[in-house]
Structure 1
Amino acid sequence: MAFVDPFRISGSGLTAERLRLDLVANNLANIDTTRTPANEPYRRRVPVFAQVLEARKEGMVGMGVRVVAIVEDQSPFKVVYDPGHPDADPRGYVRYPNVNVADEVVDMIGAARAYEANATVLETAKEMARQAIEIGRA
């Protein structure tokens, strides 16, 4: 039987979900950014996670998660008629970021719940280790 390190696994999950929450906050903060250095509206950013595997004699064992990339969502920009806006095209349309508040809130709730679950596993593993030490002393 393979030993699984709950501290390492939960720690990697906490780190990944914290980054996911940071990206949600950044997306929401840029919901009205119509011009970036690339001369286009802000594009929503999302993390790409990958499982961390470790080769053991029993086979591959999951040892956590890591962020392998942060990608820009390539969905189309929102187009709004606003001829007075400084970034309006000659026809009066402005391209706004492809950030949807509802999608970001759903992503934020999922990240927060995953973060809480990892924190609970970490706390439980810590308590089990403490109890094991107490049993060893007896």
Structure 2
Amino acid sequence: MTDAISIAGSGMNLHRKWLDAIADNIANANTVRGGDDLAFQERFIVAQEGEGITGVTADAALGDTEGQLVYEPTHPLANAQGYVRYPDIDLSEQMGQLIMAQRGYQANAAVVDRAKTAYEAALQIGRG
């Protein structure tokens, strides 16, 4: 039973990190940099199977720095050619990922709750 709680806890940790990465991406979707500078790098979370019965591990990865060059000659950060660089972050994709990450977190939290209830019931049986 403790394995179920440990595995679900690792899933909750993974989904929390995913939610953090999505929040960072949404917050920086309109971050402007000079046309000669690197764009904000989108954050990704890479899930990997843990060893044995340890659940999952979460590693961070970064997107490309290319972004999108936009012609805005009046922008204070524009380069000599009048371009600024925006990150290549799709907000609708981020919102879809946000829903999946929230649901995953909720599902793992439900597993922890049910395992805790089963553990408490087993303790009551042992007392009786």
Runs (5+) with no aligned partner, structure 1: 55-61
Find the counterpart in structure 1 of residue 7 from structure 2.
9
Find the counterpart in structure 1 of residue 72 from structure 2.
82
Runs of 4+ that moved beyond 6 A: none
Out of 82, 93, 97, the residue aligned to residue 92 of structure 1 is 82
For 1:53-132, list aligned pairs within 5 A: 53-54=51-52, 62-67=53-58, 69-74=59-64, 76-132=66-122
Show CA shifts across 1:37-77 (max 9, x none): xx3220101011111121xxxxxxx430111x311112841
Q: What is the Cα-based RMSD across aligned positions, in Å? A: 1.9
For 1:76 and 1:40, locate their aligned partners in 2 and report how far apart those are by CA, in whole Å: 6
For 1:75 and 1:5, locate their aligned partners in 2 and report how far apart those are by CA, in whole Å: 40
SS in 2 for 1:48: strand
For 1:47 and 1:110, locate their aligned partners in 2 and report how far apart those are by CA, in whole Å: 13
C-alpha contact 2:33 2:77 (8 A) present in aligned 1: yes
More helix by share: 2
Show CA shifts across 1:7-55 (max 9, x none): 110111111111110111111111122239xx3220101011111121x
State TM-score, norm by structure 1: 0.82
Number of residue pairs the alignment of both structures matches: 126
For 1:74 and 1:99, locate their aligned partners in 2 and report how far apart those are by CA, in whole Å: 10
- Displacement of 1:4 in angstroms is 7.0
SS in 1 for 2:50: strand
Q: 1:50 to 1:107 in 2, by over 3 A?
A: same
